[in-house]
Amino acid sequence: MSICEVLRIGHRPERDKRITTHVALTARAFGASRIYLSNPDSRVIKSVEEVVDKFGGDFSIESTPNPKKVASSSNLLIVHLTMFGLPIDTKVEDIITEGRDILFIVGAEKVPAWVFELSDYNIAIGNQPHSEVAALAIAMNKLYPNSYNTEFDGKLSVIPSATHREMKDSS
């Protein structure tokens, strides 16, 4: 799988801690290598780092005081997920054909104009308001098929079952 990263813009600590945590966990579960948070939140960082410690994977979470610098200095293809963008189904092949690793930008509140301007693609997963967690999962799956089947070799792993909850502890 190619490397991808996620930049979370506009995290509001009291309002968005669960959603930002879920954006980070989705990024990790679907194979991203890193997420940048535009506003530091130690609770989110701690929660995500605990999951990585328990379930494994090569994933990091970093705070950045300057998300514009992260995006503008990146050599990755920038894909901004926004309901105002072009439908993903019309752009999937173009993005894949680029053959570049991706920096997904995922907003929380009103996204600054520079995000639209710096992005190589402004992509919509539908043009209705919905969860940025869902948008990231769908985009990653369309651009990295089977990305959600990544093996992490952690201390804990889920054993699939149709009837009960079971985990393997290899620590």
Annotated binding site: 81, 107-111, 125-132
Q: Where are the beta strands (DSSP E) in 12-116?
A: 34-37, 60-63, 77-87, 102-107
Residue with tokens 């968005």: 16
> Is 115 in contact with 80 (CB distance < 8 Å)?
yes
Binding residues for S-adenosyl-L-methionine: 81, 107-111, 125-132
Residue at 160: amino acid letter: P
Of the chain, the end-to-end C-alpha distance in Å amounts to 27
Q: Which two tokens stand for residue 50?
A: 């605990």
Q: Where are the beta strands (DSSP E) in 108-148?
A: 121-124
Q: How far is CA 75 from the centre of its chain?
A: 17
